[in-house]
Structure 1
Amino acid sequence: MTDRSGLPFSAPGVMSDLIHRFDWSATPLGPVEGWPQSLKATVKTLLGSRYPMILLWSEDLIQIYNDAYINLIGDKHPYALGHSIRDTQAESWEVIGPMIHEVISTGTPNWVPAQRLALNRAGFTEEAYFSLSYSAVEDDEAVIRGMLCVCSEVTQQVLGERRLKLQRDLAAKAGEVRPQEKVCGDIAAAISDYPWDVPFALIYLNDSRDDAPLLGAAIGVEAGGEAPGRWPLDRALQGETIELDGIEERLAVAGGPFQAPVTRALVLPLRGAGDTALGALVLGINPNCAFDEAYRSFCELLAQQVSMALRNARAYEEERERADALAALDQAKTAFFSNVSHEFRTPLTLLIGPLEEALATAKGQPEQRKRLTVARRNALRLTRLVNTLLDFSRIEAGRARAAVQPVNLTTLTVDLASNFRSAAEQAGLTLTIACQDLGTPVDVDPDMWEKIVLNLLSNAYKFTFTGEIALTLNRDGDDAVLTVRDTGVGIPRKELPRIFERFHRVEKQRGRSHEGTGIGLALVKELVELHGGTIEVDSVVDEGTRFTIRIPMSSRATAPPAGPTDLDATPTRAETFMEEARIWSSDRGPHEEADADPLPAELDGMRPHILLADDNVDMRAYVSRLLRARFEVTAVADGAAALDVIEERRPDLVLLDVMMPVKNGFEVLSIIRSAPSGAQLPVILLSARAGEEARVEGLRAGADDYLVKPFVSRELVARVEGAIRLAQQRAEAAEREARIQADVDLAHRELALKDSMLAEIHHRVKNNLQFLSSLIALTIKDLADPEAVQRLEDLKGRVLNLGLMHNLLYGVGETPIDAVAFLRALAEESRTAYAMAHVGLEIAADPVSLSADQMVPLGLLLNEALLNAFKYAFDDQPNPLIRIALRRNSSGLLGFSVCDNGSGFGKPRPGSSGLRLMRVFANQLGGELAVTYDKGSQLSIEFPEVRR
């Protein structure tokens, strides 16, 4: 470290050393020794400050600065020290020169915030910003000789605020939902306001219909002359960000505050939802700014904001396309309904006419008339549905108008409402009709008014089970007001805003039937509006509903549309509404037995029991009639009643209509399948929903079969018979399985009992053998005769061997025993038990499995051989060894041998108990024992292998 204690303005840091070493005599300031005290004091203050400071002295404006100032001038240090600022800051002299001159000439201090300066401190002309404070410096005679500048660089703050403002502008654009073309234009307008930060920009859009990306917007360049091939767009579309240098060769663009040629660009990907490629963004880089991490992050944020704006635009366009497609589809559907409805009317006419003729000629044939009446009733209902669709299609197509005429609305309304009186009385309801004399005819379309009144009354009747239905008509100023009120189930509040929507139906709504198209109330609303009127609804759940219609007394009906109109009327016959109402009120209760000829009780009890649930009375009667010849049928009108029947008496098969009130078919099926025994109950779903998807849905829900309406009688009967037959087969299989399982359980219990008995026997055998061994040991202690002692010792060994074999064979049962493993284990256990661990064992054997009947005598034979060897063979043998072999010979017999390398012993007495036992064991194996006593001893036997 340099010792600065004797220097005139010593201070820590690089510049203090540099100033003291500098040859000031070669500058206008001269040697340091000749400097005025004021200059030295100022330099000392400057060096002692950590804030960037520079001192300019003399007319030549010679520079002296501190350590903090070095970072501000970059590679101009250390040359700037001792040289004129006019030379080192020539590029910014036009800006700072006048300010310096003013301070030195007037002595007035100056302060400039965020002053932009052109600096060439890093090899290029840089856009830099400084906050500058100038003050004059006097010499010892109080004459201004220089200037002290305290400066602070704020380049990053200025650039950051400017870039942030651009990002805010883009963010505001990105949040708006507009077409893609408009979005690109707005983005271009926002970016063009910041040419210093983005000298030029190109937005390329990835259009799947074109091979190459399309130019969506160009900022700072001519759009017509810009080609996608100049840029690596394919890499950007793959998600890569590419930095390009030397772009001035392909694109001549000046940028930045000092309009230098743009030499660098950044190509960034524009990503959509799910990381899909929306396009690419090409950004020119400010040539007067360092391309650092902050600048790169700014560019990436721009790309993200452009991506967001394009995503919103794509979503907007896709939504608009979907809306257009839906509108076109809706229009096509309306046209289809209109055409189909027209086409239906001819065959319906040819259907209803012959039915009425057949009814007229079927007098005295009650069964025939009953069937014809059902057919005619449903043909009329189909006609009403067709007419409703046709009316609605006309309205949707804009071809409907009210053909108004002066009508006595009171009389017309009373006549229409009175048709419902008999149906209401049959259902136990009170029908109240209170229509005032309006005093003057009302301009209405009679046919449309008929549809309005009948639809509202039919709707009230459908959802009212007790109480009353009240219809009132009165005058309120220039309006006729019709009110239909009921005490029915009501409409939930959340459903009220959608009650007049086409095809909207209130889910889980209790009604007399689940049938309907969902367009009745929507049609009423449209018809009322065609009269220039309004309709309102008020409802409280479980209390009732009120519909209020207001129409002008004098015609304000919608004018006929331009062009041709369809003037054909579609008169609605009140008869169709009445027939439907009578059907709803003719239900015979939840446990409706199908009409059938009475059968003997013993025969009736043998027939399978079918439960049918369908809310249509005619359908219940028809299906019951088809099935009653072969089955006992119980028919109910809704899902809840079906569950009650199942609870009371389990049927053999359930036929469920999918669409029913209270509980639909899927709900009933789910409850059935969730019951412990419900999996075995066959269920067939009946539905008007055709198609493979509907069938799969039904089967996935747990149905055994799915039958689509309309169906032929033979198919229904065949499906029912097949399902019942399959269920019976399943039941029989389950019964067989239960019997087999019972047998298996019994066998398991018997085996467990056997295992328990074996365990008890095993325990007792071990205890008895242990007791016998202990008793022999006590007896030996009391004997003095050596021969008797020896016999008891042999007996003790045999008892020990029996215990070892018992442990090895316990639990084997009838399973074949691995003879090699058994002999090895027995020999090892015996060697340990007789304390003969020093005796070697060699076992050579073929893979042989023997039953316990053969394994026991073979083990006892081995024990006797080992006992003799342990006792007599190895008195003085240094490496005792016993060889055991079990081999199959060429004649198919098993050869077993035990030999040792002992010293041998004399031939035993013929009456020897050991030899006698070995011969007994050999005979049990079906062989003959051979014994040799030469060098060591060897016994061998050949015996047949008993296979099981």
Structure 2
Amino acid sequence: MAPDPVAGTGLQDVAPGPGTEDVFAGGSGNGRLMAAFDWSTTPIGPVETWPASLRYAVRTVLASRFPMILTWGREYTQFYNDAYAELIGAKHPGAIGDDLRITLAEGWAALQQPVEHAMATREASWIPQLLLLLERAGYREETYFTVSHAPAFGDDGEVAGMHAVCTEVTRQVVAERRQRLLHEVSTAAGRREDERDLAAQVCGALAGDLLDVPFAAVYLTGDGARLHQVATVGVDAAALPATAERAAELGDVDVVALHVPGGPFGDEVGEAVALPLSGGAGREPVGALLVGVSPNRALDEEYRTFHQLLAGQVAAAVTDARAYAAERARAEALAELDQAKTTFFSDVSHELRTPLTLLLGPITDALAESGGQLPAPVREQLTLALRNGQRLKRLVDDLLEFVSIEAGRTAAVRVATDLAVTTAELAGVLRAAAERAGLTLTVDCPPLPRPAAVDPRMWEKIVLNLVANAVKYTFVGSIAVSLRADGDEVVLRVSDTGVGIPAAELPALFERFHRVADSPARSREGTGLGLAMVRELVGLHGGTVSVESEPGTGSTFTVRVPFGEPDTDTAPPASPAEVRGAALTPWDDDLAWQGRSADPLGTVLVVDDNADMRAYLTRLLSPSWTVRTASDGEQALHDVARVCPDVVLTDVMMPGLDGFGLLRALRADPATQAVPVVMLTARAGQEAAVEGFDAGVDDYLPKPFESAELLGRLRAVFERSRGRREPVLPAALPAAASAAPAPPPRPRAAGSVTAGTVTATAAPPQAPVGRPDSTTTWRFPSRASSIPALRRRLRALLDGAGLDGDRVYDLVLAACEAATNAVEHAQDPGEPVVDVRVTLDDGAVEIAVRDHGQWKERTSSMDRGRGSMLMSAFAEITAVPGPAGTTVTIRSPRPAA
């Protein structure tokens, strides 16, 4: 027979012990309750009959502040202290003197074995995180206890009961479990671009812990704001709504009808929570998360916080997925656009070759056969046409070759080449252009130990592009070309003392069409393919190209190619050296035409960075005008400071100070405010013309132009100016600019550039002219057509303030977005206008856009908050709505030094 776990109760022989009045002493609340309890109704009888061992045990339990319980006898009569009373909740005080098996009937299945084992074997147990079902709060509760059961001995030394010490660890167990689940969800989401796959992975992670999330469903917004079910776990997807208007609507789902089991005891779930998946501050939700609530846990503050964290993780993952998808779509669109651009250039370049051939062929033949017999003016015009035709042909050839390289149709045909001699000859092609620019060109190409196998035409493009770039971006100092053998490689270095390249631009320097923003140069002409072509051609030789540069100090380009083995013995013919040089230096001065009129109308200052354009305009205007020339806006200001012209004819796009900067400087100086300015530009279209007139130009002529039209416009502008000598300041230029002093002439660096009949000293770029540090206000009609006018005025104002070009672009974009919102969203305006205030203060910019109506709620057809997101990407945005209008303020702090 199995031993009786309660062999004796110690009730037969009462031993001395604490007095009746002392058993429940100590002042505890439970002690007072047990002192008042009629123990004679229990199996252990009145207190007077209790053995000393029971009395001592009860006193020990009551004196402890740790949760403790004592059972005595075969009926498991209970004694417990105040701390234990808190653990059993509503079961107290009814559990006093009652059978433990009855009091904890719902949890006895988990307690019976350790209790009986301790009493039968006299060995204490230790059970951490024991799952126990309790009904202490009106529902079947999931609880966890760390508990130790030990035998309680009677006076006779036999086991008379059970003594247990326990502590509840439910909160810790549940918190750790929820933390693990949040981690699993985060890990499952990862960096996924497919939001539906992401939702499925999230639900898969939730399936690993159905205690806190018995079931879940992920809903995401589609093209509109409506929610669409995309993934579920723990429930039949068909039993839930397929779509919903908003998250709150999902909260009305009849959860009981789903019959979903939950919790550790399999009880049916009766409650669910619908949580919106936030898209971020000020953005529309990206979806909703419907989660079931465990039937064995109260929906308390901790449970709600867990739900919020879970929804936050899912929302962040969905937002990231959409951002990745958008970025991927953008990259694919850019790739398609890039391919379309490449195809376009290829097609156009092919189409240009035929007319170029028919132009250059007859001109070349005419000069070769009859050049000596032609009148000098005719010969000069044909030479000019030939030079520029050859430049155009070079650009077309570069485009076609680059397209061919990208398509994989071009390969290097290597021939054994004396690379030292070849490189020295190629560099020498640009020696004359470098010397005319006041630069020293040093070529150091000693003989190599053996011939190198390169494609001569490709090597020509590599060397000429690098040296021409050095001449273009170097204003003072020298250029050095060196060639050396380094093991099995040939190393070409082209160094200059030019303007240098910012570190941020270096990674993208060899990408096609990339240009360094606002970099001073002798000309802004070019396709942006030169360095990209160098990288591709060097790569076809199995080599590498790199650059080291520091702004203001200079740059060094290093090309490494292997000596290699020749593919053929026949070298392709090379183009004439003078043709190659002229095609690479369109800014180079040619002073052949300097005619003058016997009786000129007046003096015109021609400002253009293209030497051939200056020469052409000089020849065209000389019969009627005294012509002076300048290669950029800074040189023009220096010339104007010496002798004021009657008319200024300027190009718009020039290195250093461009046409608009020159115009602002002239208008800012009282001595030159009335000088008429005519602009020439390659930008066509009505908006470009409006921008010019809005900036205060007297006339505006797009290229190409008819010579007769240019002469007529110059004469008309000159005659109009003779009748007005009072300065007139255009409205688009800021008032502060009109008060700015004229820029002082600056000393030229070493070397001089002769322009027309005036010899001007070359000058480095100077600070922006007419910088305003004040407030400017405008008022526009509240209609969409006002936005272009705001864009032009704001760009002119910020450019005049000397702001960085990228910063100007961002601020103009943000301000126009705010103005567009003011036009579209303000309803019933008190005044049908939009007010714009621009404050400039030492580099800091504040733009305030105010409408005069009440803000209109967005609908599904509107921007859904993208405008606010766009503005916030560029500057600090605040919006102050009111009954009389809304003011949006865009703040761009002063950049860090």
TM-score (norm 1): 0.67
Unaligned stretches of 5+ in structure 1?
559-568, 736-948
Query: Residue 474 of structure 1: CA displacement?
Result: 5.2
Number of the residue aligned with 2:342: 334
1:577 corresponds to 2:580: yes
User: Is residue 605 of structure 2 the alignment partner of residue 611 of structure 1?
Assistant: yes
Q: Which amino acid aligns with 2:111?
A: I
User: 2:588·2:610 contact (CA, 8 Å) conserved in 1?
Assistant: no
Q: 1:252 to 1:711 in 2, by over 3 A?
A: farther
Which 10-residue stretch deviates more, 147-156 or 721-730? Answer: 721-730
The residue that corresponds to 2:271 in the other structure is 264
Q: Superposed, which structure 2 residues align to 1:504-903 within 5 Å? A: 504-507=514-517, 509-538=519-548, 545-555=555-565, 574-580=577-583, 584-586=587-589, 595-599=595-599, 607=601, 609-628=603-622, 631-675=625-669, 681-691=675-685, 694=688, 703=697, 706-717=700-711, 719-720=713-714, 731=725
> What's the counterpart of residue 150 of structure 1?
165
Q: How far off its partner does 1:638 sit?
A: 1.6
Kindly tell me: are residues 556 and 527 of structure 1, through their superposed partners in 2, closer, same or farther at Cα, counting changes over 3 Å? Answer: farther
1:233 matched to which residue of 2? 244
Instruction: Tell me by how many angstroms 1:336 deviates.
Output: 0.9
1:54 CA displacement:
2.6
**In the aligned structure 2, how far is the partner of 1:717 from the partner of 1:316?**
57
1:387 matched residue in structure 2: 397
Q: Residue 149 of structure 2: SS of its match in structure 1?
A: strand
Give the C-alpha shift of residue 281 in structure 1: 1.4
CA–CA distance in structure 1, aligned partners of residues 285 and 219 of structure 2? 11
Match of 2:39 in 1: 24
Q: How does 1:56-75 map to 2 (within 5 A)?
A: 56-75=71-90
Q: Cα distance, 1:41 vs. partner? A: 4.4
The one-character-per-residue Cα deviations of 1:669-699 (angstroms, maximum 9, x if unpaired) are: 4444554666655444433234556556656
Cα shift at 1:647? 2.4
Q: Which residue of 2 aligns with 1:167?
A: 182
CA shift, 1:318, in A, is 1.3
Tell me how far apart the structure 1 counterparts of residues 720 and 83 of structure 2 sit (CA, whole Å).
96
Structure 2: how far apart are the matches of 1:678 and 1:128? 89
- Residues 736-785 of structure 1: per-residue CA shift (max 9 Å, x gap): xxxxxxxxxxxxxxxxxxxxxxxxxxxxxxxxxxxxxxxxxxxxxxxxxx
Letter aligned with residue 653 of structure 2: M
**Count of residue pairs the alignment pairs up:** 705
1:743 corresponding residue in structure 2:
none
Alpha-carbon offset, residue 402 of structure 1: 1.8
The alpha-carbon distance between structure 1 residues 141 and 99, as it changes in their structure 2 partners (threshold 3 A), is same
Letter of the 1:576 counterpart = V
User: Distance between the aligned counterparts of 1:47 and 1:23, measured in 2?
Assistant: 18
Q: Structure 2 CA distance, aligned partners of 1:227 and 1:321?
A: 35
CA contact (8 A) 1:532 1:556 kept: no
Letter paired with 1:288: N
Q: Structure 1's 586 and 680: CA in aligned 2 closer, same or farther, altered over 3 A?
A: closer
- What CA distance in whole angstroms lies between the structure 2 residues aligned with 1:193 and 1:416? 71
Closer/same/farther in 2, CA of residues 384 and 227 from structure 1, 3 Å limit: farther
Post-superposition Cα deviations, 1:126-173, rounded to whole Å, max 9, x if no partner, equal 110122233443445554322333332221121112112222333445
Contact 2:588–2:611 (CA<8 Å) still a contact in 1? Answer: no
Give the 3-state SS of the residue equivalent to 2:649 in structure 1.
Answer: strand
The more displaced of 381-390 and 472-481 is 472-481
Pairing 1:207–2:222 present: yes
Choose the corresponding residue for 2:233, options 219, 244, 250.
Answer: 219
Residue 436 of structure 1 deviates from its aligned partner by: 5.1
> Matches of 2:618 and 2:487 in 1, distance apart?
56
Question: 2:153–2:161: 8 Å Cα contact kept in structure 1?
Answer: yes
Q: Does the 8 Å CA contact 1:173/1:309 hold for their aligned counterparts? A: no
Whether the 8 Å CA contact 1:430–1:469 is kept in 2: the answer is yes
- In the superposition, relative to structure 1, how do residues 546 and 124 fare at CA in structure 2: closer, same or farther (>3 Å)? closer
Change (3 A) 1:429 1:733: closer
Q: Tell me which amino acid in the other structure corresponds to 1:577.
A: R
Structure with more of its chain in helix, by fraction: 1
- Amino acid aligned to 1:275: R
Question: Does the C-alpha gap of structure 1 residues 163 and 357 become closer, same or farther in structure 2, counting only changes over 3 Å?
Answer: same
Out of 211, 221, 231, the position equivalent to 1:196 is: 211
* Aligned position for 1:799: none
Q: 1:688 to 1:310 in 2, by over 3 A?
A: same
Separation in structure 2 between the aligned mates of residue 88 and residue 615 of structure 1, nearest angstrom? 99
CA contact (8 A) 2:244 2:250 kept: no
Could you tell me whether the CA contact under 8 Å between 1:233 and 1:267 is conserved in 2?
Answer: no
The answer to which of 687-696 and 159-168 deviates more is 687-696
Tell me the percent identity: 46
Which residues in structure 2 correspond to 1:911-922 (within 5 Å)?
A: none
Q: Aligned AA for 1:82? A: G
Deviations, residues 604-627 of structure 1 (Å, cap 9, x unaligned): 5xx554332111122123334444
Within 5 A, what are the aligned runs for 1:204-603?
Answer: 204-208=219-223, 213-215=228-230, 217-221=231-235, 225-226=237-238, 229=241, 233-236=244-247, 240=248, 243=251, 246-249=254-257, 251-273=258-280, 274-356=282-364, 359=367, 363-407=373-417, 409=419, 412-413=422-423, 415-420=425-430, 423=433, 435=445, 442-464=452-474, 471-473=481-483, 475-486=485-496, 491=501, 495-507=505-517, 509-538=519-548, 545-555=555-565, 574-580=577-583, 584-586=587-589, 595-599=595-599
Q: How big is the shift at 1:661?
A: 3.0
> Structure 1 CA distance, aligned partners of 2:501 and 2:188?
45
Whole-Å separation in 1 of the counterparts to 2:685 and 2:173 = 68
User: Judging changes above 3 Å, is the alpha-carbon distance between structure 1 residues 719 and 551 closer, same or farther for their aligned structure 2 residues?
Assistant: same
Distance 1:309 1:427, change over 3 A: closer
Q: Contact 2:256–2:269 at 8 Å: present in 1 too?
A: yes
**Cα distance change, pair 315–695 in 1 and its aligned pair in 2 (3 A):** farther
With over 3 angstroms needed to count, the CA separation of the structure-2 counterparts of 1:417 and 1:74, relative to structure 1, is closer
Shift of 1:197: 1.6
- Shift in alpha-carbon separation, 1:201–1:491, aligned structure 2, 3 A: closer
RMSD across aligned positions (CA): 3.8
SS in 2 for 1:229: coil
Equivalence for 1:909: none
Report the alpha carbon displacement of residue 323 of structure 1 after superposing the two structures with TM: 1.3
Alignment partner, residue 10 of structure 2: none
SS at match of 1:93: helix
Does the 8 Å CA contact 1:247/1:262 hold for their aligned counterparts?
Answer: yes
Judging changes above 3 Å, is the alpha-carbon distance between structure 1 residues 402 and 73 closer, same or farther for their aligned structure 2 residues?
Answer: same
Q: Is the 8 A contact 1:212 1:228 kept in 2?
A: no
**Secondary structure in 2 aligned to 1:213?**
strand
Q: Which runs of 5+ in 2 are unaligned?
A: 1-18, 730-897
Q: Which residue of 1 aligns with 2:3?
A: none
2:208 and 2:685 mapped to 1: Cα distance? 60
State the 1:339 CA deviation: 0.7
Task: For 1:164 and 1:664, locate their aligned partners in 2 and report how far apart those are by CA, in whole Å.
Answer: 61
- TM-score, with structure 2 as normaliser: 0.70
Name the counterpart of 2:113: 98
Q: Distance in 1 between matches of 2:594 and 2:159?
A: 124
Greater displacement, 329-338 / 13-22? 13-22
Change (3 A) 1:658 1:555: farther
Alignment partner of 1:218: what SS? strand
Which structure is higher in RCO with an 8 Å CA cutoff and minimum separation 6? 2
